[in-house]
Amino acid sequence: VYNSAHIGNFRTFLFEDLLKRYLIYKGYNVYHVMNITDVDDKTIKRAKKDKKQFEKLTSKYSALFMKDIEFLKIIPADIYPRATDHIEEMIQMIANLEKDGIAYLSKDNSVYFQLSKDKDYGRLINLNLSELKSTDRVINDEYSKDNPQDFSLWKSWDSEDGDIFWDSPWGRGRPGWHIECSAMSIKYLGEHFDIHCGGVDNIFPHHENE
Model confidence over 186-196: pLDDT tens digits?
999 999 999 99
Q: Tell whether the model's pLDDT for residue 85 goes beyond 60.
A: yes
pTM reported for the whole predicted model: 0.86
- Classify 86-210 by CATH class: alpha beta
Q: What is the pLDDT of residue 156?
A: 96
Instruction: Show me where the domains of the chain are located.
Output: 1-84, 86-210
What average pLDDT score do residues 173-197 get?
A: 95
The two domains 1-84 and 86-210 share their CATH topology (first three levels equal): yes
- Give φ, ψ of 191 to 5 degrees: -75, -20
Tell which CATH classification among 3.40.30.10, 3.40.630.10, 3.40.50.620, 3.40.50.450 matches the domain 1-84.
3.40.50.620
